[in-house]
A and B are shown apart, each in its own frame.
With several copies, the nearest count.
Chain A
Amino acid sequence: MLVIKVGGGEGINYDYICEDIAGIIKRGVKIVLVHGGSHEANVLSEKLGKPPRFVTSVSGYESRYTDRETLEIFAMVYSGKVNKFIVEKFQKLGINAVGLSGIDGRLLEGQKKSTLKIIEGGKKKVLRGDNTGKVEKVNIDLLMLLINNGYLPVISPLCSSYEGEAINVDGDRAAALLAVKLNADKLIILSNVPGLLKNVEDESSLIKHIDRSKVSEFMEFAKRRMKKKIMGTAEAVEGGVKEVIFADARIKNPVTNALNAKGTVIN
């Protein structure tokens, strides 16, 4: 079983990803795909005159401030456009994908954090009305029901709070939890960079291998969104996932490349 997370950043090639995954599934490998959509969400937010507001937590984690209006944009882009057009690509390739968000069947459930502390303009502030949270529970039965009946789950990170409210959660950490709960052999995190880079400006500064016990030491190399990918990786490894691979989703056969250790391998 593979859990694959593909980001929503610019330059990511969904055709390459879906073609590669279709081939791997046809060889009998079970897969669960989680996807992002940040670039498309930013584009739509600008068009609707509500530019995205990113906030940084006290310890430097960045995320999208998600008031109700932003949550609607999030649902439209992640669960509407990106999710369904990934499913369409798979259907055209003869793979019977089922697109779900985390709120469907409470596939992904967790604690809503409506009050947070952020740093903005150098000041420490309290932020309210944020519909975000952390995924803590997975509806494994629903996932296995679909997988065992030949479907490919394609999941968007719009999740359910324990009270049933829609919340925005981090896709990488949702993928990490899925990998743990599904006892996945590998968690593959695809984005628009070759892997974890020593120097983000230099794509040749790829860190090829990280020992699973030393993951958090590499946090220093992670900038912005990569921080949460490292956090997710640490959680996956702690939860028993044997191998996590960061690889490039801009080139052909991105998953096969990852399986052949082209990227940053953590084991």
Chain B
Amino acid sequence: MAACIVCEGNIDIPEDTEEGEIIECPECGIELEVVSIDPIELAPAPKEEEDWGE
């Protein structure tokens, strides 16, 4: 379990979660990046950017 950094709601962190993975807070719906696994650290995920290279 981890606390959402926006609404402090509880967020379940599955066993196979990887660093850099994006998870959604079930309560406020914000997208968070799992910055580190041990210890669990969350940060707001970057804005969606669709523009891509070759």
Which A positions have Cβ atoms within 8 angstroms of B? 36-38, 57-59, 61-64, 66, 74, 78, 111, 113, 115-117, 123-128, 130-134, 157, 167-171, 173, 228
Contacts and interface: CB of A to CB of B under 8 A. Distances in A.
Q: Which 5 A-B pairs have the closest CB atoms?
A: A132-B53, A134-B51, A168-B53, A63-B52, A124-B22
Contacts of B20: 125-128
B51 A125 contact: no
A62 B52 CA distance: 8
A115 B22 CA distance: 13
Contacts of A74: 54
Interface in B16-54: 18, 20-23, 31, 33, 45-46, 48-54
Contact of A57 (B18, B31, B52): B52
Contacts of A169: 53-54
B17 to A, nearest CB: 8
A117 B45 CA distance: 8
Given A64-B54, A117-B46, 19 more contacts: A57-B50, A57-B52, A59-B50, A111-B51, A116-B49, A117-B45, A117-B48, A123-B22, A124-B21, A124-B22, A125-B18, A125-B21, A126-B21, A126-B33, A126-B45, A126-B46, A130-B53, A169-B53, A170-B51
A125 B18 CA distance: 9
A130 B52 CA distance: 10
13 contacts: A57-B50, A64-B54, A78-B54, A111-B51, A113-B51, A117-B48, A117-B49, A124-B31, A126-B20, A130-B53, A133-B53, A134-B51, A134-B52
Contacts of A36: 54
Contact of A123 (B18, B52, B54): B18
